Amino acid sequence: MKLNSRPFRIARYLILLIALLSSVNSVQALPEGYRKTMIELNSPPIGLAFDSSGILYAMEGAPFGTNAATIRVNHPDGSFGMDLPIAGDDENNFFIGGMTYDPIADGLLVTDNTADGRIYSLSKTGTKGLLASGIPAIAGVAVRSTGEIFVSSALGDNLGQVFQIDRVSGTATPVVSGIDYGAGLAFDTNGDLLLQDADATTFAGRIQRLPIFENGGGLTFGSLTPLIDGMQSSAGIAFDSEGDLFSTGPGGLFAIAGEPLAETLFDSDGDPSQYATAIAFSAGTAPFEPFAGPDGGRMAFMANFGFSTQDTFITIIEPLPEPNSLLLGGLLLSLLGARRKLTA
């Protein structure tokens, strides 16, 4: 092939394009095979949740001294739907602890740690109900696949607890005690509850597993099992479609994997004071793996919520398409076309 031939020029441009894409990915601090985009909001998000159709709900916190917040509705194609207003029951403040999607009611659950601590149910039309109250320092909230609701409290000094909330009566039954700060919640593929909190003195993160057993229409619980301690991340946890665990906290987004478990930085904006918080995952029809393409699902998180910087956008991470498939296909067609011209 001549160095100035058309096929050679095409190949050279493709190589440059691949190099450029690789350099962009390295700047983004993502593992190869993923990309990230930002969805701009009106103010910093403090809660994130995907529903079963992949719609992302992002809660913008109420300004201090007010009780009115806004949930932005973002469709999978990036367009925004109608905002959902929500107000806390306290007239002066609304301190959101966490938010999650409730597949049983096809709505949202929001915790409010103002005063005595409350959990609200919110429909997709904006109708709010009080599900439970009297849980001081209420923080995380999660719904098991069988419909049970769990919340955590973050009182510190081993005073925090995890409660199961009765959907009808609102009764909060303690199932775990002795936790500190943070208290993110998530369910693994076996239906066991994973609890994340931060040490009240060192603020190092840890994750523990609470085994859950279905027994005669109810649930019984095993003993807490420590999974990983001394973590840098300590703000939120989420599982992807294959049961891989991700965590947020000081430094950005982390993947938790290995034997024994260890955290590896998955994404960072390079700011030494970065503090990632809210996190949510929407499963696709393909695994959330490198180069799985647009069907690989979406990870959403707030990249920075701190004293010095608060992002007003959501970071979305998605797998890239299979590398080089289209590019090499185009190159092959070009080479075949050039050969036909030479032999014509």
CA distance 198 to 201: 9
Count Cβ atoms below 10 Å from residue 68 Cβ, excluding itself: 11
pLDDT in tens, 154-175: 999 999 999 999 999 999 999 9
Q: Contact 85/73 with Cβ under 8 angstroms?
A: no
Q: Which residues have CB under 8 Å from 244's CB, separation 6+?
A: 255, 256, 257, 288
What phi and psi values does residue 306 have, to the nearest 5 degrees? -145, -170
pLDDT number for residue 206: 96
Q: How confident is the model at residue 183 (pLDDT cuts 50, 70, 90)?
A: confident
pLDDT, one tens digit per residue, over 112-142 is: 999 889 999 999 999 999 999 999 999 999 9
Given the DSSP bridges, would you call strands 245-249 and 236-239 parallel, antiparallel or unpaired?
Answer: antiparallel
d(CA 19, CA 7): 18
The pLDDT of residue 269: 87
Residue 12: predicted pLDDT = 38
Using DSSP, state whether 143 is helix, strand or coil: strand
Residue found by looking up tokens 């609890």 in the block: 195
Categorize the per-residue pLDDT at 24 as very low, low, confident or very high, splitting at 50, 70 and 90. Answer: very low
Of the listed ranges 26-30, 76-80, 97-101, 302-306, the one predicted with least confidence: 26-30
Would you state the pLDDT for residue 323? 74
Both tokens of 344, joined, read 């014509």
Which whole number is the average pLDDT over 20-28? 40
Query: SS3 helix, strand, coil % of the chain, rounded to 5?
Result: 15, 45, 45
Tell me the pLDDT of the chain averaged across its residues.
87
Pairing of strands 138-143, 149-153: antiparallel
| pLDDT digit string, tens, across residues 193-213 | 999 999 989 999 999 999 999
C-alpha 78, offset from chain centre? 17
Mean pLDDT of 144-158: 95
Q: What is the pLDDT of residue 7?
A: 40
Whether pLDDT at 14 is above 90: no
Tokens of 276: 């990632």
Q: What is the mean pLDDT of residues 229-249?
A: 95
pLDDT digits 0-9 by tens, 58-87: 999 999 999 999 999 999 999 999 999 999
Mapping DSSP to helix (H, G, I), strand (E, B) and coil, where does residue 258 land?
A: coil
Q: Which of 113, 124, 120 is nearest to 170 (CA)?
A: 120
Dihedral sign, CA of 61, 66, 67, 70? negative
Q: Does the pLDDT of residue 296 top 90, yes or no?
A: yes
Which pLDDT band holds residue 8 (cuts at 50, 70, 90)? very low
What Å distances lie between residue 208 and 91, 229, 237, 301, CA to CA? 36, 9, 12, 22
User: What is the per-residue pLDDT for 18?
Assistant: 39
Q: What is the dihedral of CA 335, 337, 340, 344, to 10 degrees?
A: -130
